[in-house]
């Protein structure tokens, strides 16, 4: 009788130990899987993070809300930056901005862009970054658009325009964590020859994107390895 009780007790103890062992092994496996998953995510986030740079000087001349150039439709997610040229040699940033503004009365077409970069490098903002602009066809809904002025038919930008464009795009890449592939031409959206010089000269377009990321590397807003803002 006593032996039978002992055997039963041993059986129970064995079952409890087995359950604890399986439980422990399962817990360890779950921990390993979770740590791999978390580390992998951290690596991805670290690789993709674009360093912020200082915001360039921007003159805000926001358009009057109207359905032809500033419909006030929410821009909920920014997945790219689209570069354009005005296709109007010698025209100024302010002139192009006023053209968009006057569409509310002329009602000729639907057009606008978030920014216009002028012949002297001035940057005019026409549409807030929380709203869509009418510039890049089906990509209006998830991109920021930049029109650039140019002195002649070749569409080549003045050095001052180019410099401001680099700084503006660099700042936007940091703000929205966009990598090189997120900087596109109107040409990449619809095949339109815009911006002409960068369509005619693919190498100059690649060089432009490289210049943006060189600028980001050379002008970090924060000291590397610290959270302190630079003096």
Is 186 a binder of Zn ion (CB under 5 A)?
yes
Which CB, 186 or 209, lies closer to Zn ion? 186
The nearer residue to Zn ion, 148 or 170, going by C-beta atoms, is 148
Query: Residue 156 CB, nearest distance to Zn ion (Å)?
Result: 16
Distance of closest approach, residue 53 Cβ to Zn ion, in angstroms: 25
Specify the stretch interacting with Zn ion by CB under 5 A; choose among 96-104, 111-119, 182-190, 208-216: 182-190
Question: Quick check: 146 binds Zn ion (CB under 5 A)?
Answer: no
Nearer to Zn ion, 86 or 164 (CB): 86
Q: Which stretch binds Zn ion (CB under 5 A): 35-43, 113-121, 124-132, 179-187?
A: 179-187
Cβ proximity of 146 and 84 under 8 Å: yes
Stretch that binds Zn ion, among 33-41, 69-77, 120-128, 183-191 (CB under 5 A): 183-191
* Spatial distance between the Cα atoms of 113 and 136, rounded to a whole number of angstroms: 9
Compute the least distance from the CB of residue 86 to Zn ion, in Å: 9
Residue 20 exposure: Cα atoms within 13 Å on the Cβ side: 6
Is 194 a residue that touches Zn ion (CB under 5 A)? yes
Binding mask 62-91 for Zn ion (x = CB under 5 A): ----------------------x-------
Q: Where are the alpha helices (DSSP H) in the chain?
A: 2-48, 93-106, 159-176, 186-190, 196-200, 202-218
153-160 own/partner pairs: CB under 8 Å, 24+ apart = 153/89, 154/196, 154/197, 154/200, 155/85, 155/87, 155/195, 155/196, 155/197, 155/198, 155/200, 156/197, 157/85, 157/117, 157/195, 157/197, 158/119, 158/120, 158/121, 160/119, 160/120, 160/121
Contact flag: residue 127 with Zn ion (CB under 5 A): no
Please say which residue, 110 or 222, places its beta carbon nearer to Zn ion.
110
Q: Quote the least distance from Cβ 178 to Zn ion, whole Å.
A: 19
Cα angle 100-102-105, degrees, rounded to a multiple of 5: 130
Nearer to Zn ion among residue 63 and residue 148 (C-beta): 148
**Residue 155, exposed/middle/buried by CB under 10 A (0-12, 13-18, 19+)?**
buried
Burial class from Cβ neighbours inside 10 Å (0-12, 13-18, 19+) for residue 61 reads: middle
**Smaller CB separation from Zn ion, 53 or 169:** 169
User: What's the min distance (Å) between Cβ of 96 and Zn ion?
Assistant: 12
Positions touching Zn ion (CB under 5 A) are 84, 186, 194
């Amino acid at each position: 009788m006593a032996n039978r009780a002992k055997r039963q007790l041993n059986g129970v103890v064995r079952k409890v130990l087995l359950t604890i062992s399986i439980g422990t092994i399962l817990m360890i496996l779950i921990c390993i899987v979770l740590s791999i998953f978390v580390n992998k995510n951290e690596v991805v986030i670290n690789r993709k993070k674009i360093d912020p740079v200082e915001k360039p000087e921007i003159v805000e001349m926001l358009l009057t809300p109207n359905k032809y150039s500033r419909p006030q439709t929410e821009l909920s997610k920014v997945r790219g930056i689209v570069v354009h040229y005005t296709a109007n040699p010698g025209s100024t940033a302010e002139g192009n901005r006023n053209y968009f503004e006057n569409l509310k009365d002329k009602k000729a077409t639907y057009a606008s862009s978030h920014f216009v970069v002028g012949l002297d490098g001035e940057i005019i903002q026409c549409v807030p970054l929380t709203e869509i602009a009418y510039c890049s066809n089906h990509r209006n809904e998830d991109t920021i658009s930049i029109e650039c002025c140019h002195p002649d038919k070749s569409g080549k930008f003045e050095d001052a325009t180019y410099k401001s464009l680099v700084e503006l795009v660099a700042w936007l890449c940091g703000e929205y964590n966009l990598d090189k592939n997120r900087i596109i031409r109107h040409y990449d959206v619809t095949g339109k020859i815009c911006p002409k010089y960068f369509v005619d000269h693919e190498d100059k377009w690649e060089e432009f994107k490289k210049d943006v990321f060189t600028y980001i590397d050379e002008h970090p807003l924060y000291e590397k390895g610290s959270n302190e803002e630079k003096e």
